[in-house]
Chain A
């Protein structure tokens, strides 16, 4: 697990790329794009992205730093052990589901 910094405009994960990390936003704001749907993720919840890596799937969204962003980058096993069963893990599912539902036009 490590903390990484991203400058505004920098792409953190790319749709279609197979990754092995899950990202938790520590500070800053990230733009997420799923298909044509865009949303903003921030350190408030805190938001998590890249959870597709947990099941060995390619990322399904492109996440770009809007301003100076600090993230915790976890290996999938670390995320499962430390965060999955906590409030961070639950919020990660909730936010992932909500972004998906919005992209599908369900909400």
Chain B
């Protein structure tokens, strides 16, 4: 059947198992949504366990779903749960046994991305002054309508003054503006990850960057937010230890 809007209501225990043929269905648990698409099962957790739904489950665009039997879909259900389990491992950080791998965040080639934007917009950021204070002033004085130029200048600042911690602050401030004004999650995340890569010893900035990353991933319904939340907790404990 084709449907748009509420499929199951908050508090309901699904008595039917629906498989998505097309469209997007949104489930929300613990205030975090995740979108289901073709081949996914709607409210699989609540259907199998009999736990009432925390919030409405909604087809956010016109979706086609079919009523199926768990018996016929046995292996398909196992496959979907295994996919979820893989996420558990992707998002787990064992705070007692941290290994380097826990801090290997997704690869983002920010420079390549910015080069593409620059060539598209034929923007020129101009040269940064050799004096650090003048360079900071130039970056900070740029208006919000020149945000991409600002991002470019921050990038150049990091190249020119790699040892300067103020670079971390510039990255975080610029990322926050990019996210709020341009709503460019990709770019904002990339800038924040640069803080972790360039300033791993600046724990306060790393903490701020991780909390911001957690927020962005949470907003986009990407369960990777848990990884950043846990990493932020680790840094928080380290910061307390240093206090």
Interface positions of A (Cβ within 8 A of B): 34-37, 51-52, 54-55, 57, 60-61, 80, 84-85, 89-90, 93-94, 96-98, 100-101, 103-107
Residues of A near B88 (CB, < 8 A) are 34-35, 37, 60, 100, 103-104
The answer to whether A106 and B30 touch (CB under 8 A), given A51-B78, A54-B78, A93-B78, is yes
Extra contacts besides A55-B75, A106-B30 (6): CB < 8 Å: A60-B88, A89-B74, A90-B48, A93-B48, A93-B78, A107-B49
Report the minimal beta-carbon distance from B190 to chain A, rounded to whole angstroms.
26
Contact A52 B74 (CB under 8 A): no
Give the distance in Å from the alpha carbon of A94 to the alpha carbon of B29 in the complex: 18
Residues of A near B91 (CB, < 8 A) are 104
Report the minimal beta-carbon distance from B14 to chain A, rounded to whole angstroms.
13
Report the minimal beta-carbon distance from B147 to chain A, rounded to whole angstroms.
35
Report the minimal beta-carbon distance from B41 to chain A, rounded to whole angstroms.
10
Asked if B68 CB lies within 8 Å of chain A CBs, one says no
- Which of B79-87, B128-136, B178-186 is the interface stretch? B79-87
Report the minimal beta-carbon distance from B50 to chain A, rounded to whole angstroms.
8
Q: Using an 8 Å CB-CB cutoff, how does the interface string of B24-54 with A read, 1 for contact, 0 for none?
A: 0000011000000000000011001101000
Contact A101 B92 (CB under 8 A): no
Residue of A nearest to B76 (CB): A55
The majority secondary structure among interface residues of chain B is helix
Partner of B79, one of A55, A101, A105, A107: A55
Partner of B49, one of A55, A57, A97: A97
Give the distance in Å from the alpha carbon of A103 to the alpha carbon of B29 in the complex: 14
Give the distance in Å from the alpha carbon of A97 to the alpha carbon of B49 in the complex: 8
The answer to whether A60 and B70 touch (CB under 8 A), given A35-B92, A36-B94, is no
Contact B226 A105 (CB under 8 A): yes
Residue of A nearest to B74 (CB): A84
Contact B81 A54 (CB under 8 A): no
Residue of A nearest to B230 (CB): A36
Residues of A near B29 (CB, < 8 A) are 106-107
Give the distance in Å from the alpha carbon of A89 to the alpha carbon of B69 in the complex: 13
Give the distance in Å from the alpha carbon of A1 to the alpha carbon of B89 in the complex: 31
Contact A98 B49 (CB under 8 A): yes
User: Which residue among B71, B82, B85 has the maximum number of chain A CB atoms within 10 Å of its CB?
Assistant: B85
Residues of A near B235 (CB, < 8 A) are none
Asked if B223 CB lies within 8 Å of chain A CBs, one says yes
Give the distance in Å from the alpha carbon of A101 to the alpha carbon of B84 in the complex: 8
Give the distance in Å from the alpha carbon of A84 to the alpha carbon of B51 in the complex: 22
User: Which residue among B77, B82, B87, B94 has the maximum number of chain A CB atoms within 10 Å of its CB?
Assistant: B82
Contact B92 A57 (CB under 8 A): no
Residues of A near B70 (CB, < 8 A) are 90, 93
Which 4 residue pairs are nearest across A and B when measured between Cβ atoms?
A35-B92, A60-B85, A35-B88, A103-B88
Contact B89 A35 (CB under 8 A): yes
Partner of B78, one of A52, A98, A104, A107: A52
Contact A55 B82 (CB under 8 A): yes
Contact A100 B51 (CB under 8 A): no
Report the minimal beta-carbon distance from B140 to chain A, rounded to whole angstroms.
40
Give the distance in Å from the alpha carbon of A106 to the alpha carbon of B223 in the complex: 11
Give the distance in Å from the alpha carbon of A90 to the alpha carbon of B48 in the complex: 8
The answer to whether A106 and B74 touch (CB under 8 A), given A34-B88, A55-B79, A60-B85, is no
